[in-house]
Amino acid sequence: MSLFARFYGAISSFRFYRFVIFERGAATIRYFLLLIALSSLALTIRLELKFLDASAEVVEWMIAHLPEITILDGKVSSPVPQPFVLKDDKVGVFILDTTGKTPRMDSTYNRGFLVTQDRLIVKQPRGGRDVATINLSQVKELRVNPTTIQAWRNFLYWASFPAFYLFLFLREGLSKFLLVLLFSLSTLSLTRRLSVQMTFPQTLTLGIYALTPVIVYETFLAIAGMNEFTISLSGSDIPPFLIISLGIYILFLWGGTRACRPE
């Protein structure tokens, strides 16, 4: 049976599950991995487009506002008069001072960045405490100017895609496998109630193929940008699509198991 035939059968007919549970384990695993791979690819494209939009905005801001900065043998230098102070609603404050007049950000600024002669200090919005002090003394050479900023952006364009894809593939694969494993145990109990003779490996196969409509639904929502809405339950924000996904999965598990009853 071709991949498309299995894919179409898994979302179009409960009777499909009556026959697919006898499929060899290796074929089921290949189908699962391919399903996760295709879903992760679609999710990666969506995430990459959002990342590119956000990074373009950041790059434009950096080019328009940041002075040229050079780090050579751990020492920071810049041609602009210092202390250089830039206030912005997005980053809070950016201070460049290699003269030593501003060793730390005072309480006036509760968030932002301070670049000294050999350190980068970052403050967070809440509490105005130093959340990170990065020692720049080990940096041999680094230049921050429009040319290098564009070069970093181009590098991130290429490097982010495989990184996003690997992360999403592992996340989707692990989460979906745990879902199948958990519900396969429940399906065994359901088979007894429906008088269906099914082994645990067969419930795993059924559970993997029942993922197909769930993954199609979640992938469509992600591409359309409709998976970011949440509802509040008991003080916690829960995406409603997760509840719907779980409902779809249970429906296809129940329908597929019921279709396996003896005729």
pLDDT at 259: 86
- Cα torsion 138, 94, 58, 221 to 10°: value is 100
Structure tokens at 245: 């996904």
Domain ranges of the chain: 3-52+155-259, 69-144
User: What is this structure's pTM?
Assistant: 0.70
pLDDT at 128 over 50: no
Q: Closest Cα partner for 257 from 211, 216, 202?
A: 202
> How does pLDDT run across 230-262, given as a tens digit for each residue?
444 445 555 677 788 889 999 998 888 888 887
Mean pLDDT taken over the chain? 83
Q: Find out whether the peptide bond into 146 is cis, omega within 30 degrees of 0.
A: no
